[in-house]
């Protein structure tokens, strides 16, 4: 299981530490460019270092202003200084700014420690350092993360539990998102749900990016169907851009309770808001599309990508719940979904091939997506070729040979 998750974790890790991003003004501008503005993933777990915002805050503090008191001429001067990299940020901010621009983890860690030497309470530096030193499946790192959770809660409380609409709350809400993602990925589902419950108890009107998908996926996996229903009714009118996600998870909760008539009706509702749903769940490679979520920075609502984002955190869950996948495939076909090959059948039912007896599902998945699905496929490669595939070792090679697999001669 650990090896299978490593690919997804490594992709996530790179995105967490990627500090590039678009400013709020550019995001707002996108609303004028299309009637259905794209949703920005914000998959970076480090908030974007918005130089203009930081400069405005520093300038206002120096002048004794509120931000709204800054005149247009002053704003132009600040923008000019930023353009030529001449704005006089204080020393702590300068070092942190350098850290977020540094791609090398070791060098970034040194810079972040310098920040904390000068300002031990610099929350983003502590959080950024935590991510820089991430160690999956490590007990010491887990304790470090769980201890940091108390600091996150204290920081958010100091901002009055403001929601994502408020800039000053975003560092803490971003860190909470990471907490849930980390605990969920490590298998601490109960603790992840505890964090989710804490956030929802504050009744935020606007959630941090991805928090809704995380929460709904977690509740469905835990069988907390009452919470799925509650979130569905609560956020359907508040988050119209996430309507297909809310309907999908509510539909899945009904399916997992054996309420197939209600589930099928909700699948039809899903098609009403996202007409690509039938073809998506009927497609051969929709599960594989979930990995593509890590590569995108934005997606269009009510599209194949929005469905991939919606189901992303349930990848491991679906690999253990083949019947649920079969129902999704059935609903898709009944409502006109088409695919040249039944992806659910080609992937999961291929697992019943005697060639794969005794092979773990995560290893089979790796072989499947390396196009090693039949005895003929294996005859095209050597044993060395097989062992060169990440996650495949001698034990898998021996098991395949015991099952009658014949390889190409070296």
**389 located within any domain:** yes
Question: Is the predicted pLDDT of residue 31 greater than 60, yes or no?
Answer: no
pLDDT, residue 209, reads: 83
**331 located within any domain:** no
- In which band, very low, low, confident or very high, does the pLDDT at 29 lie, cut at 50, 70 and 90? very low
Interhelix angle 211-222/243-256, nearest 10 degrees: 0
pLDDT, residue 36, reads: 57
**62 located within any domain:** no
**59 located within any domain:** no
Q: What residues make up the domain containing 368? A: 354-402
**296 located within any domain:** no
- Please give the tally of structural domains in the chain: 1
Question: Is the predicted pLDDT of residue 347 greater than 80, yes or no?
Answer: no
Instruction: Report the phi/psi class of residue 302: left, alpha or beta, with left for phi > 0 and alpha for psi in -120 to 50.
Output: left
**367 located within any domain:** yes
Instruction: Evaluate whether 292 touches 228 at the Cβ level (below 8 Å).
Output: no
Interhelix angle 2-16/361-369, nearest 10 degrees: 60
Q: What is the mean pLDDT of residues 122-148?
A: 93
Instruction: Count CB-CB contacts under 10 A for residue 1.
Output: 11
Q: What is the mean pLDDT of residues 161-181?
A: 93
Q: Give the global pTM.
A: 0.73
pLDDT, residue 32, reads: 39
282-291, 305-314, 358-367, range with greatest mean pLDDT: 305-314
Query: What is the distance between the alpha carbons of residues 159 and 156, in angstroms, rounded to a whole number?
Result: 5
- In which band, very low, low, confident or very high, does the pLDDT at 66 lie, cut at 50, 70 and 90? confident
CA 28 to chain centre: 22
Q: What is the mean pLDDT of residues 299-303?
A: 87
**393 located within any domain:** yes
- In which band, very low, low, confident or very high, does the pLDDT at 20 lie, cut at 50, 70 and 90? very low
**381 located within any domain:** yes
Q: Which of 266, 203, 204, 256 lies closest to 226, judged by CA?
A: 256
Question: Is the predicted pLDDT of residue 3 greater than 90, yes or no?
Answer: no
pLDDT, residue 30, reads: 40
Q: What is the mean pLDDT of residues 10-28?
A: 44
């Amino acid at each position: 299981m650990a090896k299978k998750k490593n690919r997804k974790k490594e992709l996530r890790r790179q995105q967490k530490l990627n500090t590039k991003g678009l400013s709020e003004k550019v995001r707002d501008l996108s609303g004028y460019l299309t009637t259905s503005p794209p949703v920005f993933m914000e998959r970076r777990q480090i908030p974007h270092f918005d130089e203009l915002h930081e400069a405005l805050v520093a300038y206002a503090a120096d002048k004794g202003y509120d931000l709204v008191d800054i005149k247009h001429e002053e704003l132009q001067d600040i923008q000019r200084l930023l353009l030529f990299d001449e704005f006089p940020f204080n020393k702590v901010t300068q070092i942190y700014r350098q850290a977020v621009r540094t791609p090398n983890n070791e060098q970034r860690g040194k810079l972040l420690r310098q920040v904390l030497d000068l300002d031990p309470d610099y929350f983003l530096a502590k959080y950024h350092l935590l991510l820089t030193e991430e160690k999956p499946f490590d007990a010491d790192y887990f304790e470090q993360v769980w201890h940091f959770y108390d600091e996150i809660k204290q920081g958010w409380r100091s901002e009055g539990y403001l929601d994502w609409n408020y800039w000053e709350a975003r560092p803490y809400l971003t860190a909470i998102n990471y907490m849930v993602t980390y605990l969920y990925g490590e298998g601490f589902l109960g603790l992840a749900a505890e964090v989710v419950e804490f956030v929802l108890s504050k009744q935020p009107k606007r959630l941090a990016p991805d928090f809704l998908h995380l929460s709904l996926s977690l509740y469905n996996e835990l069988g907390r169907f009452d919470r799925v229903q509650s979130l569905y009714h609560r956020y359907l009118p508040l988050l119209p851009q996430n309507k297909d996600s809310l309907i999908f998870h509510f539909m899945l909760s009904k399916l997992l309770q054996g309420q197939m008539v209600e589930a099928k009706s909700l699948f039809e509702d899903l098609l009403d808001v996202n007409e690509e749903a039938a073809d998506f769940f009927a497609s051969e490679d929709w599960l594989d599309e979930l990995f593509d979520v890590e590569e995108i920075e934005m997606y269009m609502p009510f599209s194949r990508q929005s469905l991939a984002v919606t189901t992303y955190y349930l990848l491991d869950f679906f690999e253990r719940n083949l019947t649920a996948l079969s129902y999704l495939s059935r609903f898709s076909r009944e409502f006109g979904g088409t695919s040249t090959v039944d992806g659910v059948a080609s992937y999961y039912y291929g697992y019943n091939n005697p060639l794969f007896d005794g092979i773990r599902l995560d290893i089979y998945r790796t072989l499947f997506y390396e196009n090693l699905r039949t005895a003929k496929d294996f005859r095209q490669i050597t044993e060395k070729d097989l062992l060169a595939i990440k996650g495949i070792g001698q034990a898998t090679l021996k098991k395949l040979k015991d099952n009658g697999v014949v390889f190409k001669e070296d």
